[in-house]
Amino acid sequence: MVRVWLSRLPLLADALGRAHAPAHDQHSFAASITELIDARNRDEVWLALSVLTGRFPTESLVLKTARDSEFDPHALFAAVRSETTRESASWRVVVEREKTLVDVGDTSASTLATGIQRVVREVAKRWAAMDDVRFVGWTQQWQSLRDLEALELARVERGIARDGEEDPAHADVVVVPWQTSYILLEVSAEPPRSDRTRAMARFSGCHTTALCYDLIPVTSSETSSPGMTGVFAHYMAALKYFDRLSTISKATAVEYLGWREMLPAAGLIGPDIIPVLLPASVGESDDAAIAGARDRLIIGEVPLILVVGSHEPRKNHLAILQAAEILWREGHEFSLSFIGSRSWRGDEYHDRIRQLQDQGRPVESVTHAGDSLLWAAYRVARFTVFPSLNEGFGLPVAESLSVGTPVVTSNFGSTAEIAETGGALLVDPRDDDDLTAAMRTLLTDDDVLLRLQIEARSRPRTSWDDYAESLWRALQQG
C-alpha cells in the first residue's frame, strides 16, 4: 500500500498546486500529507481521500476525518490507511480539472431502453463530438468514477442499447473531478452511488449539474416499485448540494421548485432549476417499415389503437383495457396493441390481457419491439392512448403527435403541456367514463380525428440536436 500512496502523492500535490516533502516510507508519507493538506479544509480532505485511496469518500467520512484532525495530526493518514483496499490500490488514478465529466454509468451498462435510457443515449451521442467532454461510469459497488470501457463508450456514442451479456465493470482508470464540471445525465438509483455523489457535490469544488426526469417516487409513491421511494431519497439528498438542475418539462420543474422550497428549513438554498423541454421527434419510416408494421399489427381493415409505455401501474393500462372492453361490447371494431417493456407490479395487467385474448378480443402486448417497428406503429395507428397518472414528460405523446397521429392523454401535468399546441383529446385519467368517451369519439368521429391530425401536423418541430445543444447551454452556461 505504501508504494501506491507514494506514487499518488505527486498527483495530489499537483492538483493542489503545492510542493510536497519527499517521502519514501510510511512514516515520511504520513508526515508529507500532514504538511501538504489542511485537514480542517473539508474540500482538501475529500480530494486527498479520493486520490490516495482511489475511492470517493462519503460525506460522513470527510466530516469525521476533518474533525478528528483538529486533535490528531495523523487522522488523515489513518483514514487513508483504513479506506484503501487491495482492489482500489490496483487502480490508476487521474485528476480531471478541465473536461466536463458526464456520468452515464447505468445507461452504458444497461439492457433497458426506457424513456430515461433513450434520453441519455440521444444526448450523449451528440455530446460525444465535443472535445471538452469525458464520459464516466462507476466502479463495482459504486466506489468511484471511472473511465468507460471501449464497448461501453461505443454504446453511448452510437446511442444504442446493449446486446448480449453484460460486461464486467473494470476500473482501470479512476477519475477524480476537482474544481471542474460534473453532469449526472441519469437518475442515481443506487444509495452508495448517491451517498458518494453527495460528498463530491459538497466538497470537490466542481460545478455540479443534473438532468432530472420526475419526482414520481415522492408525488406518486403508490405507483412506484417497492423500495424506490427510499432509494430516491438518497438521490434527492445528493441533488440538494448541486448547483443546477435541468428538468425535462415545466411540470417537472414545478415539482422540483416545490422540493427546493423546503430546503431552507434545513439551512440550504438548493440548486437553480431550469426546464428544457424534450423534443417531439421520431425516426423515419420507409415503405418497407410501414408495410411491416401493418403486417405485424393491423388486423384486416379494423383500425389500430396504439399504447406505448412500460407496463406499470402509473401508466394506467388497466383503465385502457376497461374502456376497450366497453367499446368492444358496444360493437365497435378495432384492435389494441400495447408496446412497452415489462415493469413492476404488472401482473394484473398481464392477467387481464390473457383474459381478453381468451375471449377472442384483438388485443396484444408487445414487450420486445425495435425502433423501426415502434416508429412505423405510430404512423399506422388511428390514434394512440396515454392516460398516465403522473409523467415527467410523456415521450409517447410527443412522438405520436410528431408524426400527425392524434393522442388521448391526461389533462394535467407534462402531458397537457405537450398537448397545448394541439392534436390531442385531454381526459381525466382517473375517470373511466371520460377515457372511454374520448376513445369512442376518435373511433367514430372522422371530423374530429381529421381536425386533430391537422393540428398535430402543424405543430412546431423540434429535434434531438436542438435539445442536446439547449441542455448543454442550460447546464453549463445558464
Q: Is the pLDDT of residue 166 over 90?
A: no
pLDDT score, position 165: 47
Percent of the chain past pLDDT 70, that is, above it, reads: 96
Higher pLDDT, 32 or 170: 32
How far is Cα 396 from Cα 417, in angstroms, rounded to an integer? 13
pLDDT score, position 280: 83
CA dihedral in degrees (149, 150, 154, 156; nearest 10)?
20
**Beta-bridge partner residues of 98:** none
Percent of the chain past pLDDT 90, that is, above it, reads: 82
pLDDT score, position 159: 63
Summarize pLDDT for 24-42 with one digit per residue, the tens.
899 999 999 999 999 999 9
Residues 6+ away with beta carbon under 8 Å from 310: 114, 340, 341, 342, 343
pLDDT score, position 117: 87
- Its pTM surpasses 0.85: yes
Residues 6+ away with beta carbon under 8 Å from 80: 5, 33, 48, 49, 52, 53
Q: Compute CA distances 200 → 59, 86, 144, 151, 197, whole Å.
A: 8, 23, 10, 27, 5
pLDDT score, position 342: 75
Summarize pLDDT for 92-104 with one digit per residue, the tens.
999 999 999 999 9
Average pLDDT over residues 296-301: 93
DSSP string, 270-296: --EEEE-PPP-------HHHHHHHHHH
Average pLDDT over residues 119-137: 93
In the chain the domains, ranked by start, together with CATH numbers, are 2-90 (no CATH), 94-279+467-476 (3.40.50.2000), 287-457 (3.40.50.2000)
Long-range pairs, 408-411, Cβ under 8 A, ≥24: 408/383, 408/384, 408/435, 408/438, 408/439, 408/442, 409/385, 410/386
Among 3-7, 153-157, 311-315, name the one with the lowest average pLDDT: 153-157
Q: Say how far residue 391 (Cα) sits from the centre of its chain.
A: 13
Average pLDDT over residues 396-407: 96
Average pLDDT over residues 345-366: 93
96: three-class secondary structure by DSSP? strand
How far is Cα 149 from Cα 167, in angstroms, rounded to an integer? 9
Q: Is the pLDDT of residue 161 over 60?
A: no
Summarize pLDDT for 231-281 with one digit per residue, the tens.
999 999 999 999 999 999 999 999 999 999 999 999 999 999 999 999 988
